[in-house]
Amino acid sequence: MHALGRHLLVELHGCHPDLLKKVDAVKDILVGAARACGATIVDVAFHEFNPFGVSGVVVIAESHLSIHTWPEYRYAAVDIFTCGDVIKPEHAVSYVASRFRCKSPSVVEVKRGLIPGQGKVAHKIATEDKVGETIADGAQELSLVH
Catalytic-role residue among 37, 83, 102, 123: 83
Cβ distance to a second copy smaller for residue 32 or 132: 132
What order of strands is seen across the sheet that includes strand 75-82?
A: 41-48, 54-60, 63-70, 75-82, 2-12, 106-115
Q: Which of 73, 103, 109, 120 binds a second copy (CB under 8 A)?
A: 73
Residue 117 one-letter amino acid: G
68 is catalytic: yes
Would you count residue 56 as binding a second copy (CB under 8 A)?
Answer: yes
What is the size of the binding site for a second copy (CB under 8 A)?
51
Select the residue interacting with a second copy from 22, 35, 68, 91 (CB under 8 A): 68
Per the annotation, the verdict on 83 as an active-site residue is yes
Q: What whole-number distance in Å separates Cα of residue 69 and Cα of residue 29?
A: 12
The minimum distance between CB 101 and a second copy, in angstroms, equals 17
CA distance 68 to 58: 12
Is 98 catalytic? The answer is no
Report in angstroms how near the CB of residue 103 gets to a second copy at its nearest.
17
Residue 7 binds to a second copy (criterion: CB under 8 A): yes
Helix (H, G, I), strand (E, B), or coil: what is residue 29?
helix
Q: Choosing from 7, 15, 37, 63, which is the catalytic residue?
A: 63
The radius of gyration computed from the CA coordinates of the chain, to the nearest angstrom, equals 17
At its nearest, how many Å lie between a second copy and the CB of residue 49? 4
Q: Identify the H or E element spanning 11.
A: strand 2-12
CA distance 101 to 17: 9
- CA–CA distance, 34 with 95 (Å, rounded to integer): 9
Report how far residue 35's alpha carbon sits from residue 71's, in angstroms, rounded to the nearest whole number.
Answer: 24
Chain positions contacting a second copy, by CB under 8 A = 4-5, 7, 9, 11, 42-45, 47, 49-51, 53, 55-57, 59, 61, 63-64, 66, 68, 70, 72-73, 75, 77, 79, 81, 83, 108, 110, 112-113, 115, 122, 124-128, 130, 132, 134, 136, 139-140, 142-143, 145
Residues noted as catalytic:
63, 68, 83
